């Protein structure tokens, strides 16, 4: 029987042996039993449907600590990288969501007033923000370089568990004007492959956003897969803001089911209503 000799660099070996924080419990209403390491999550939606707000809310949960003394904050105490291309992300929104989460936890804890000294909320937020790396991109070449730098950043920080790209389609028309003859589907597929190539076996979760109309004419959305796979998505979250109303809805697809949700948006972020599950 022929045997194939497998080789790996020292950096690849170090990456394989790294132990990163888990993101299970990131948002149970969206991810019943996940997300797991190496999975891919797509968030799409029409204008003002809450895509960046949802990403920011997930970042807040990822970055916050699990608890402060005996007060449960329900964070994951994990690091994250935000590749910021649309520039809709606002650090003040992230801070306000963190403050709301901490205040809510302290108000529901009877002993909070005795446990929390003045200024501790700011200290918790500053510590949480130290786990966030923001890579700002302003044109296509910078975006490509940012994706190619992910492996280096990850190999130097074993606390990072989440990569967020907002959004993956930002420079499509810029690339088209430079002579690249991409269909929208091919463009998305190409950049997803580039991102996956640079985080392969890094044990992180990849989230990216795109507009709901960023799809080639006549193309149908591919099905979600159950295990991490190149150029495939494990969760697909479609957000929608209904015209002339203040109503929002979301459809969450995974390999095994579909969940239909309604939600509201306020200064406290996204609040989900009870879902309907279709097997």
- Segment-wise mean pLDDT, segments of 10 residues, the chain, 279 residues: 50 61 93 90 94 98 91 93 97 96 78 64 95 97 96 94 96 86 88 93 95 84 89 95 87 93 94 71
Nearest to 65 by CA among 130, 143, 3, 157: 130
Helices then strands (H, E): number in the chain?
9, 12
At residue 87, the pLDDT reads 96
At residue 70, the pLDDT reads 79
At residue 246, the pLDDT reads 81
- Sign of torsion, CA 22 44 253 16? negative
At residue 14, the pLDDT reads 52
Q: Which fold would CATH assign to domain 34-238?
A: Rossmann fold (3.40.50)
At residue 114, the pLDDT reads 56
CA separation for the pair 258, 279 (Å, rounded): 7
User: 3-state SS of 108-127?
Assistant: CCCCHHHHCCCCHHHHHHHH
CA 277 to chain centroid, in Å, comes to 23
Check: CB of residue 252 under 8 Å from CB of residue 236. yes
At residue 264, the pLDDT reads 93
Q: Two tokens at 235?
A: 């969760």
At residue 119, the pLDDT reads 86
């Amino acid at each position: 029987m022929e045997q194939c000799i497998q080789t790996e660099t020292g950096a690849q070996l170090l990456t394989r042996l790294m132990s990163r924080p888990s993101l299970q419990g990131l948002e149970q209403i969206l991810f019943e039993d996940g997300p797991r390491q190496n999975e891919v999550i797509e968030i799409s939606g029409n204008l003002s449907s809450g895509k960046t707000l949802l990403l920011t809310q997930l970042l807040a949960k990822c970055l916050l600590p699990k608890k402060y003394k005996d007060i449960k904050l329900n964070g994951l105490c994990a690091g994250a990288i935000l590749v910021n291309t649309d520039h809709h992300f606002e650090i003040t929104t992230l801070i306000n969501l963190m403050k709301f989460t901490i205040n809510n936890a302290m108000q529901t804890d009877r002993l909070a007033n005795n446990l929390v000294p003045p200024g501790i909320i700011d200290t918790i937020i500053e510590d949480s923000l130290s786990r966030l790396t923001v890579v700002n991109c302003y044109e296509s070449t910078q975006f490509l370089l940012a994706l190619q730098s992910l492996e280096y950043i990850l190999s130097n920080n074993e606390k990072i568990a989440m990569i967020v790209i907002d959004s993956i389609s930002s420079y499509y028309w810029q690339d088209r004007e430079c002579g690249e003859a991409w269909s929208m589907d091919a463009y998305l597929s190409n950049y997803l492959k580039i991102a996956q190539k640079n985080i392969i076996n890094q044990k992180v979760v990849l989230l990216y956003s795109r507009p709901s109309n960023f799809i080639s004419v006549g193309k149908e959305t591919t099905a979600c897969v159950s295990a991490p796979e190149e150029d495939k998505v494990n969760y697909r979250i479609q957000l929608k803001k209904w015209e002339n109303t203040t109503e929002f809805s979301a459809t969450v697809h995974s390999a095994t089911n579909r969940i239909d949700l309604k939600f509201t948006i306020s200064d406290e972020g996204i609040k989900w209503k009870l879902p309907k599950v279709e097997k």
